[in-house]
Amino acid sequence: MAKNLKLKAARAGKDLSQQALADLVGVSRQTIAAVEKGDYNPTINLCIAICRALDKTLDQLFWDEN
């Protein structure tokens, strides 16, 4: 699994730390870090929660164009 640089960029664009995003979506900071690093494949519910928190679509954050 590749790093999710789009998620990291969107989070930074909202000026949110990993902890702040984790608090918004109800997971640990470690979970957000693992998703960004590509070490964890989030559930669809977590993907949707992250998208809502960052005002992005699933395609914008989780769709791999390759």
The pLDDT of residue 64 is 75
Q: How far apart are CA 49 and CA 66, in angstroms?
A: 24
46-61 pLDDT, tens per residue? Answer: 999 999 999 999 999 9
Q: What angle do CA 22, 1, 12 make, to 5 degrees?
A: 35
Give residue 16's region: left, alpha or beta (phi > 0; psi -120 to 50): beta
Domains in the chain with CATH codes = 5-61 (1.10.260.40)
**pLDDT above 70 (res 66):** no
pTM: 0.90
